[in-house]
Amino acid sequence: MSDRSGKFAGDDPFEIARAWLAEAEETEINDPNAMALATVDQSGLPNVRMVLLKSIGADSFVFYTNYESAKGAEIAASGKAALVLHWKSLRRQIRVRGTVTREDGPEADAYFASRSLKSRLGAWASKQSQPLGSRADLMAEVARVTAAKGPNPPRPAYWGGFRIAPVEIEFWADGAFRLHDRFVWRRETHENAWEITRLSP
């Protein structure tokens, strides 16, 4: 018997995540879709940085980045990642762990095309995570690609989405005196049904 209700109601964790994000969009001062993305490098050393969650699909969480960045190399090597969304205004968090595939088809093209021209040119100009001599070098590269790419630059092959397909999703909501509510959805593989468990705070 589960005593889940209210903000935890429903059996589809992606629907709950979408509902919580929609609430956060009303209450956060900026970037309600900001999430910390964790990966591990080849030696097993964890790495973490913020990225923006751009969609919650039927079975996945999608963000966009440079495939040749540190995170891109770490995901390519491990095929795995974790993320956490935290909303101070709601006092809630969502944690996700899973396997990662590239989203580099029409959805990525459409997302890239939706970005401002300057952001698209920035993606062309920046060798993300590589050493950079100076800000002036970066701006010179922006000027070069602006002249070279014209008003409608295509999506670079090295820039696109990553789709995290969870095997674990935990919803956490603040409770009085640290007696928080936690529910985790777990499945051994993506083919298995979810098992839902309440966890101690």
The verdict on whether residue 71 carries a ligand-binding annotation is: yes
The nearer residue to ligand PXP, 115 or 180, going by C-beta atoms, is: 115
Q: Is 85 in the site for ligand FMN (CB under 6 A)?
A: no
Active-site residue, 18 included: no
Catalytic residue (choose from 92, 102, 144, 178): 178
Radius of gyration of the chain (CA): 19
* Binding at 115: pick from ligand FMN, ligand PXP, none (beta carbon under 5-8 Å per type): ligand PXP
Give residue 150's region: left, alpha or beta (phi > 0; psi -120 to 50). left
Binding site partner of 146, from ligand FMN, ligand PXP, none, Cβ cut-off 5-8 A by kind? none
**Number of CB atoms found within 10 A of residue 173's CB:** 16
- Closest approach, Cβ 176 to ligand FMN, in A, equals 30
Sign of CA dihedral 84, 110, 59, 64: negative
Contact status: 25 vs ligand FMN (CB under 6 A): no
Quick check: 45 and 58 in contact, CB under 8 A? no
Q: Is 50 helix (H, G, I), strand (E, B) or coil?
A: strand
Q: Which of residues 118-147 bind ligand PXP (CB under 6 A)?
A: 119
Both tokens assigned to 65: 């980045």
Structure tokens at 35: 């999430």
Which residue type, as a one-letter code, is found at position 201?
Answer: P
- The one of ligand PXP, ligand FMN, none whose footprint includes residue 49, by CB under 5 to 8 A per kind, is ligand FMN
34 touches, from ligand FMN, ligand PXP, none (C-beta below 5 to 8 Å by class): ligand FMN
76 binds ligand FMN (CB under 6 A): no
* DSSP, res 11: S
Q: How far apart are CB 31 and ligand FMN at their closest, in Å?
A: 5
**173 scored as a contact of ligand FMN (CB under 6 A):** no
How far apart, in whole angstroms, are the C-alpha atoms of residue 79 and residue 21? 26
d(C-alpha 137, C-alpha 125), whole Å? 10
Tell me the one-letter amino acid at 85.
L
Binding residues for FMN: 49-54, 64-65, 71, 93, 128-129, 172, 182
Site residues (CB under 6 A) for ligand PXP? 52, 64, 115, 119
Binding residues for substrate: 54, 111, 115, 119, 178-180
Annotated catalytic residues are 178
